[in-house]
Amino acid sequence: MTAENIPRSLHAGKYAIIKDDQIVSVWDTLADALQAAGEQFGLEPVATYHINPLDVERFALIDAQAQTAREAECPS
């Protein structure tokens, strides 16, 4: 999972369906996420993840650090 894949504060507190290291969709409740995962993937393995508001802040910090590092690189 990468920082670019998690939308920011709009999704804090919601539930993400994750398949093959990619966020497939985001749902308001765990029940909705599980139902959608079952309908879309059947018995295939998927993960659900509760998006913690602190995670949103952490990913924003990681993005800012990555942007700073890219800006500091010398052009080739």
Per-block average pLDDT, block size 10, for the chain (76 residues)? 52 89 90 96 94 78 78 67
State the number of CA atoms in the 13 A half-sphere of 29 facing the CB: 3
Q: Are 67 and 47 in contact (CB under 8 A)?
A: no
Instruction: Give the model's pLDDT for residue 17.
Output: 93
Residue 58, pLDDT score: 76
Determine which helix (DSSP H) or strand (DSSP E) holds 5, and give its type and residue range: none
